């Protein structure tokens, strides 16, 4: 096995182990004292009923969603960067999560999601599709870093303003407080209802994105060469749009808009895979899952009375990271 392949296999195994570890830790973090003895219920012996209830209905769905959302953000970030050949692309920066949140908010607060539960993730998906297509029009293919960021700023700002407006217009008296959830994201008090709503769409989205590996590798050479290597560019684009929309849209619909994961994770892990866009995909998925699970653990360990929103943590890491990347790419902006 070549050294680079060995490095890749090591990397994947290491990340998988970390992910499993983070998942398990996440199951044991929380304000209630739920320990291993409470898990006895899983093995049939006399359980502590409340302990088992907390574990199975509160902690488990939260951990599952934490990994699913994080992996989605990491994977879609890697895919978008590979396709747009732009290291600053990620669903948060280009406005996909903000747009998904907007449509999810509309689906929820108009009562649509109350009569038809799937309206919530579908709303998020439609919002994500709209954003990806808009970004393609504004700043697709080979356009400069600056254009892409500006397009993302435009979409995010507009979606954010519309979300505030929608919540303002809603007769719901808690709207002002709830907007924080949609804009900054949180996994608090998620239940298996959220898992069933989102995970099927997320899984299909993952499938579509993970199969883009070879195409993304070919795009390293540019679009013409990639087409000459036998890739159907319009079908590739469709798979990217749908894969991103399905996974990021559904994830945002149940967890709010969490940003920067898709930027930080692929960037950190690229050296691990020799910058190969294809290998970066599964690796970023694992890395994203680990990042969000860890952030969710930290959020519950912090001594604040009110759990701070996940998006705050990811922004605290991601925004400075983004600035550093911008500085590195300064010459591309001119």
Q: Cα–Cα distance between 88 and 152 in angstroms, integer?
A: 10
Is residue 219 a contact point for other proteins (CB under 8 A)?
A: yes
Q: Which stretch binds other proteins (CB under 8 A): 11-19, 237-245, 275-283, 310-318?
A: 275-283
| Residue 36 binding other proteins, by CB under 8 A | no
Select the residue interacting with other proteins from 7, 23, 110, 203 (CB under 8 A).
Answer: 110
Nearer to other proteins, 263 or 290 (CB): 263
Cβ 34 to other proteins shortest distance, Å: 8
Distance of closest approach, residue 154 Cβ to other proteins, in angstroms = 25
Q: Which of 287, 283, 210, 292 is nearest to 259 (CA)?
A: 292
Minimum distance from residue 32 beta carbon to other proteins (Å): 4
How far does CA 141 lie from the centroid of its chain? 23
Site residues for other proteins, window 255-274 (CB under 8 A)? 270, 274
Any idea which residue has 């994770």 for tokens?
265
Q: What is the 3-state secondary structure (H, E, C) of the chain?
A: CCHHHHHHHHHHHHHHHHHHHHHHHHHCCCCCCCCHHHHHHHHCCCCCHHHHHHHHHHHHHHHHHHHHHHHHHHHHHHHHHHHHCCCCCCCCCCCHHHHHHHHHHHHHHCCHHHHCCCHHHHHHHHHHHHHHHHHHHHHCCCCCHHHHHHHHHHHHHHHHHHHHHHHHHCCCCCHHHHHHHHHHCCCCCCCHHHHHHHHHHHHHHHHHHHCCHHHHHHHCCCHHHHHHCCCCHHHHHHHHHHHHHHHHHHHHHHHCCCCCHHHHHHHHHHHHHCCCHHHHHHHHHHHHHHHHHHHHHHHHHCCCCCCCCHHHHHHHHHHHHHHHHHHHCHHHHC
Task: State which residue, 56 or 136, has the beta carbon closest to other proteins.
Answer: 56
Q: State which residue, 24 or 189, has the beta carbon closest to other proteins.
A: 189
Question: Binding string to other proteins for residues 42 to 71, with x set by CB under 8 A, is what?
Answer: --------xx-xx--xxx------------
Which 111-150 positions form the footprint of other proteins (CB under 8 A)? 111, 113-114
Q: Is residue 232 a contact point for other proteins (CB under 8 A)?
A: yes
Q: How far apart are CA 258 and CA 253, in angstroms?
A: 11
Is residue 277 a contact residue for other proteins (CB under 8 A)? yes
Q: How far apart are the first and last CA of the chain?
A: 43
33 touches other proteins (CB under 8 A): yes
**Residue 192 lies near other proteins (rule: CB under 8 A):** yes
Judged by CB under 8 A, the stretch of 129-137, 199-207, 214-222, 291-299 that binds other proteins is: 214-222
Query: Distance between CA atoms of 142 and 219, rounded to whole angstroms?
Result: 11
Indicate which single residue of 26, 97, 217, 247 sits in contact with other proteins (rule: CB under 8 A).
Answer: 217
Show the binding pattern over residues 152-181: x = contacts other proteins (CB under 8 A), - = does not.
------------------xxxxxx-xx--x
Find the shortest distance in angstroms from Cβ 299 to other proteins: 12
Segment lying near other proteins (by CB under 8 A), choices 121-129, 225-233, 243-251, 316-324: 225-233
Contact segment (CB under 8 A) with other proteins among 13-21, 69-77, 102-110, 317-325 equals: 102-110
Q: How far is the CB of 132 from other proteins (least distance, A)?
A: 20
331 binds other proteins (CB under 8 A): no
Distance CA 66, CA 186 (A): 9
Q: What is the dihedral of CA 67, 70, 75, 81, to 10 degrees?
A: -170
Which spans of this chain sit near other proteins (rule: CB under 8 A)? 4, 30-34, 50-51, 53-54, 57-59, 85, 108-111, 113-114, 170-175, 177-178, 181, 188-189, 191-193, 214, 217-222, 224-225, 227-232, 270, 274-277, 305-307
């Amino acid at each position: 096995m070549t050294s680079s392949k060995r490095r890749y296999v090591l990397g994947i195994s290491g990340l998988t182990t970390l992910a499993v570890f983070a998942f398990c830790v996440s199951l044991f973090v929380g304000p209630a004292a739920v320990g291993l003895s409470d898990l006895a219920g899983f093995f049939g012996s006399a359980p502590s009923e409340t302990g088992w209830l907390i574990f199975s209905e509160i902690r488990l769905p939260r951990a599952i969603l934490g990994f699913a959302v994080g992996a989605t953000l990491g994977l879609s970030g890697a895919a978008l960067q590979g396709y747009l050949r732009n290291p600053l692309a990620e669903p948060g920066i280009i406005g996909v999560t903000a747009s998904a949140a907007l449509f999810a908010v509309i689906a929820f607060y108009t009562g649509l999601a109350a009569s038809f539960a799937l309206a919530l993730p579908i709303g998020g998906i439609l919002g994500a599709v709209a954003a990806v297509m808009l970004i393609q029009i504004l700043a697709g293919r080979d356009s400069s870093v600056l254009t892409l960021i500006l397009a993302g700023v435009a979409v995010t700002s507009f979606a954010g303003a519309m979300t505030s407006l929608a919540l303002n217009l809603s007769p719901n008296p808690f709207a002002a407080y709830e907007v924080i959830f949609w804009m900054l994201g949180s996994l608090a008090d998620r239940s298996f209802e959220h898992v069933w709503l989102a995970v099927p769409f997320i899984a299909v989205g993952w499938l579509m994105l993970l199969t883009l590996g070879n195409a993304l590798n070919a795009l390293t050479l540019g679009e013409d060469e990639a087409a000459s290597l036998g890739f159907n560019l319009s079908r590739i684009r469709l798979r990217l749009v749908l894969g991103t929309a399905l996974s990021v849209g559904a994830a945002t619909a149940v967890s709010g808009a969490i940003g920067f994961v898709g930027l930080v994770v692929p960037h950190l892990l690229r050296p691990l895979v020799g910058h190969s866009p294809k290998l970066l995909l599964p690796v970023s998925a694992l890395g994203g899952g680990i990042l969000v699970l860890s952030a969710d653990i930290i959020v519950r360990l912090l001594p604040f009375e009110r759990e701070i929103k996940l998006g705050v943590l990811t922004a605290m890491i991601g925004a400075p990271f983004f600035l550093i990347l911008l500085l590195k790419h300064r010459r591309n902006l001119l």
